[in-house]
Structure 1
Amino acid sequence: MKGLIGLDEVIVQLKQLFDKASALAGLSFAELANHVGMTVPNDLRRNKGWVGQLLESALGASAGSQALQDFPELGVELKTIPLDANGKPLETTFVCTTPLIDVHQLTWETSNVRNKLQCVLWIPIDGRRDVPLAERCIGTAFLWQPSVQQEAQLRADWQEHMDKIALGEVESITAHQGEVLQLRPKAANSRVLTEAIGANGEIIQTLPRGFYLKTQFTSQIIRETFGLPDPATTYD
């Protein structure tokens, strides 16, 4: 869709999106929910995707659940990232679901992981559990594109996971594998199954899988963006 509008128009729309996201900084969830006509749940235990839906509604994201960026006309993905009081990510970041059959012809260049992460509008949010959900605030939005080194890390992990899937080893992949990108089950419950390649090349039933950015990777992004000290650094 980006090809349907000129580069100048893309730049203008991208700036408008960024300005709109930046204007949300400091608002509480209750204030923004009231503005867009949504109700704040008591907590996120049964409403895990609510904050993302709130921000998508506020910013006019159009992709919904499709395998596209949230703003496909701009090539931009929207990601929220809950932080603690010290600016540390509190959870991994879901990227996209994972194909588990017909994977031999897939490449990093055409993968949905690369597509989703080529340009991300990150919106930090207050993730402190001791603060009521309605009172938690939205942080300062920023645009991010992976550096050459970061893309190399992502690509290496993606390739390792996809090789295992192609070899019928999906059941042996754990969340500990991967330097920056992990693969783990992504399903509402254990009854949700999908087809995958088995150890002998047969089709098996298994839980759907999703790619997630590990917290040490997103923590690095946050530190570099806001100039925060590395928690591993010690001072005399």
Structure 2
Amino acid sequence: MKGTKYTTKELLLERAKEAIGIPLKDIDITGRLATGKGAIGTMIEECWFGYTPNSESEPDFPEAGVELKVIPYISGKAGIRAKERLVCNIIDYNEEYKKTFKASSFWHKCQTMLLMVYENIKNQSKGDFMISNALLFSAPDEDLAVIEHDWQIIMDKIRAGRAHEISEGDTMYLAACTKGATAEKSFRTQPFSDIKAKQRAYSLKQSYVSEILRRYVFGIEENEHIIKSVDDLHRTSFEELVINKLKPYYGKSRDQLKAELGIHSTAKNQNELILAGMLGIKGRIANTAEFKKAGIVPKTIHIEPNGAIKESMSFPTFDFIKLSMEDTWEESELYNYLAPTKFLFVIFRKNAAGGSTFAGAQFWNIPAADLDEVKTVWEKTVHIIREGVQLTSTRRGICNNLPKKTDNPVAHVRPHAKDSNDTLPLPDGRRMTKQCFWLNNSYIRKFIKEQ
């Protein structure tokens, strides 16, 4: 490919910073902003740096060894967060597994990235957005150890002939996201199986990109660490390190744990306090550096004396109108929450006397095949809301025709509200009790491993 005039990292960063504060419409001399998704990044490449976007195998600025990424962020009540994952290059299943991490296409392309960031402001024209900062980024050693392990997990699935089972939730920071997954032509051959796999690209998870922004762009101090030494991550995975920290507490009652860890609270968050204590954390486990970067969600699972799980797993309440306007499964809020999320199940077994014992912990993410089952529930839900939900009065209250637990082995829809007056508007103007997607309790039970 033809090179660019930006042959050093210093020249690139200097040029990038010159764009700060200029409305994008004043940079866009080609009308690229009107072309749709990805237009801002392409426009910056063409109009600001003066080069045509290159092939995926080389970084954008090959002489400098730098890849350009233009990143939108959102500022709200919850603080700063990246608007989306950072997508890198397509994974060639038939070639990538032959390489080492340092020889991989991901490392070759994205070892050093020039990040140009802008705030995506609701109801504001793209042309009025402005680059607010620019920096060169290379993952620090503690993150790089996790990213390399993530890469190895993806390669292990390819080598096992299971590229079709790859899921974003398999990994921590570096993921393999679907790329053009809705088109039949986007399915690719894999070397150790005749089953075609969805085309996927390396990507840095939205949660990880959010932490890059908070720490390196906005100077927000990184939170408490679970892993105290990067050397630990060179010996084993983060998941194994966490489980090994928890194992000495297996089999102890809740009262024993509270006494041993000096916890006196009887509030609803006492399980969270117990987990933090077992891991040597003072604050919330969900706010630790590693959990925030990986977007890991801790979930307490209660096993009844008869071995069943009483509660299904809920997700955030959805907006009926917003849900009805979602175009594709891969761009839906549910997919972009569930697909990349890794859960830490903290398992307590209840006894007949009313107490409970810490029965174990495990990391879990939804398998690719089961994610397809959730897709069918999402599609049916969107269709029903668009067509008009059927509301029927019964002795038990108002019923609807959204997907029920008996309709699907993996997921369903049901209320998630304070009471019957806690409602949201439907597209047709009626109101209905707030609803959310749930993973069936019987489905989750299949994955729970007690120690």
Alpha-carbon shift at residue 104 of structure 1 (Å): 4.0
CA–CA distance in 2 between the matches of 1:100 and 1:106?
11
- What is the distance in 1 between the residues matched to 2:196 and 2:165? 14
What secondary structure does 2:127 align onto? helix
Q: Which residue of 2 aligns with 1:210?
A: 201
Q: How does 1:98-109 map to 2 (within 5 A)?
A: 98-109=91-102
Partner residue, 2:118: 125
1:103 positional shift: 4.2
Tell me the CA shift for residue 38 of structure 1. Answer: 2.7
Can you list the C-alpha shifts for 1:13-39, whole angstroms capped at 9, x where unaligned? 432221110010111121111xx3334
> Hey, what's the Cα distance between the residues in 1 that align with 2:96 and 2:11?
38
Mapped pair 1:167 → 2:156:
no
Which residue pairs with 2:56 in the alignment?
A: 66
**Bigger radius of gyration, 1 or 2?**
2
Q: Matches of 2:54 and 2:129 in 1, distance apart? A: 24
Counterpart pick for 2:219 among 211, 227, 232: 227
Cα deviation for residue 62 of structure 1 reads 5.6
Conserved? CA contact 2:190–2:197, under 8 Å? no
Structure ranking higher in strand proportion: 2
1:24 corresponds in structure 2 to 19
Answer whether contact 2:32 2:39 (CA < 8 A) is retained: no
Q: Label 1:88 to 1:47 Cα distance change in 2 as closer, same or farther (>3 A).
A: same
In 2, Cα distance between equivalents of 1:63 and 1:151: 27
> Partners of 1:158 and 1:39 in 2: how far apart?
34
2:65 to 32, 57, 75: 75
Q: 1:151 aligns with which of 119, 131, 144?
A: 144
What secondary structure is seen at the aligned counterpart in 1 of 2:101? Answer: coil
1:52 to 41, 44, 55: 41
In the aligned structure 2, how far is the partner of 1:93 from the partner of 1:148? 19
Contact persistence 2:147–2:174 (CA under 8 A): yes
More displaced stretch, 219-228 vs 57-66? 57-66
**Post-superposition shift, 1:229?**
5.3
Alpha-carbon RMSD across the aligned residues, in angstroms, is 2.5
Q: Across the two proteins, how many residue pairs are aligned to each other?
A: 217
Q: Percent identity?
A: 25
Q: Cα 1:170–1:188, aligned 2, differ >3 Å: closer, same or farther?
A: closer
Q: Distance in 2 between matches of 1:184 and 1:40?
A: 25
Q: Partners of 2:53 and 2:199 in 1: how far apart?
A: 21
Give me the TM-score of the superposition, normalised by structure 1: 0.82
Q: Is 1:84 the equivalent of 2:77?
A: no
State how far apart, in whole Å, the 2-side matches of 1:48 and 1:187 are. Answer: 13
The residue type equivalent to 1:222 in the other structure is L
- 2:185 maps to 192
Listed one character per residue, the Cα deviations across residues 121-152 of structure 1 (whole Å, up to 9, x for unaligned) are 00012223422212112121011111111211
Secondary structure of 1:87's partner?
Answer: strand
Structure 1 residue 158: deviation in Å? 0.6
Confirm or deny: 8 A CA contact 1:80 1:122 kept in the other structure: yes
- How far did residue 63 of structure 1 move? 5.5
Whether the 8 Å contact between 1:192 and 1:208 is mirrored in structure 2 is: no
AA of the residue aligned to 2:54: G
Q: Distance in 1 between matches of 2:201 and 2:32?
A: 28
C-alpha displacement at 1:230, in angstroms?
5.9
Structure 1 Cα separation of the partners of residues 15 and 95 of structure 2: 40
Cα distance in 2 between the residues matched to 1:205 and 1:129: 39
Aligned mates of 2:50, 2:144 — CA distance in 1: 28
Q: Which residues of structure 1 form unaligned runs of 5+?
A: 2-8
Contact 2:32 2:43 in 1 (8 A): no
> Do 1:83 and 1:127's aligned partners in 2 also have CA atoms closer than 8 Å?
yes
Aligned residue type for 1:77: E
Q: Distance in 2 between matches of 1:129 and 1:230?
A: 27
Name the amino acid aligned to 1:59: F
1-structure distance, mates of 2:130, 2:170: 33
Q: Which stretches in structure 2 are left out of the alignment for 5+ residues? A: 224-286, 289-451
Matched to 2:10, the amino acid is: K
Deviation of 1:165 after TM superposition, in Å, equals 1.3
